[in-house]
């Protein structure tokens, strides 16, 4: 499934074109719903008008283990300023044999107090067929990707991206 995205120039990328590195891409993957760990629906509309980070990760991913505590720190600092973090776990799509309880415990151990949901194949495709973890999309209030990272990033780089998203 390819959910259309609108790019800043008004065009729509084709399947496989992805958004990797596509700063200025407006993320509007409508009709995609993930399920949070506590069973609540989570859609792209949930964070409309809210600066946020989409953090794609999986349980046991070494750079994710290093990234999660940094994101937890940023969440504590910037949540009061309206910045939200959504961790999209890829375990089910990657067929990693862990339970929801294991995933939640892993997230708690690594400081994840932010929103956690299961990545679906549809959302994976909508965000450029994410296949390297972690992948992070920082999105501003307009829904525009202002920073995009793949793999571990230092806290300073992540914090700068949060500040850009908040502008």
For 86-104, write each residue's pLDDT tens digit.
999 999 999 999 888 888 7
**Predicted local confidence at residue 29, as pLDDT:** 53
115 or 1, higher pLDDT = 115
pTM of the model: 0.81
**Predicted local confidence at residue 39, as pLDDT:** 80
Q: How confident is the model at residue 44 (pLDDT cuts 50, 70, 90)?
A: confident
Here the tokens at position 14 are 């084709």
Residue 129's alpha-carbon distances to 110, 121, 123, 124, 165, in angstroms, are 26, 8, 8, 5, 23
Where would I find the H helices in 4-154? 62-78, 91-94, 100-109, 121-126
Contact 143, 50 (CB under 8 A): no
Contact 126, 31 (CB under 8 A): no
């Amino acid at each position: 499934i390819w959910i259309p995205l609108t790019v800043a120039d008004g065009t729509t990328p084709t399947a496989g074109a992805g958004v990797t590195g596509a700063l200025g891409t407006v993320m509007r993957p409508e009709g995609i719903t993930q399920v949070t760990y506590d069973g609540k629906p989570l859609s792209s509309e949930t964070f409309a008008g809210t600066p946020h980070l989409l953090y794609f990760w999986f349980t046991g991913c070494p750079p994710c283990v290093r990234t999660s505590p940094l994101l937890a720190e940023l969440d504590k600092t910037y949540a009061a300023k309206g910045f939200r973090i959504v961790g999209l776990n890829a375990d089910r799509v990657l067929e990693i044999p862990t339970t929801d309880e294991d995933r939640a415990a892993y997230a708690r151990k690594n400081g994840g107090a932010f929103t956690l949901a299961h990545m679906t194949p549809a959302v994976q495709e909508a965000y450029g067929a994410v296949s390297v973890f972690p992948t992070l999309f920082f999105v501003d209030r307009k829904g525009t990707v202002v920073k995009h990272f793949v793999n571990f990033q230092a806290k300073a780089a992540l914090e700068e991206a949060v500040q850009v998203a908040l502008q």
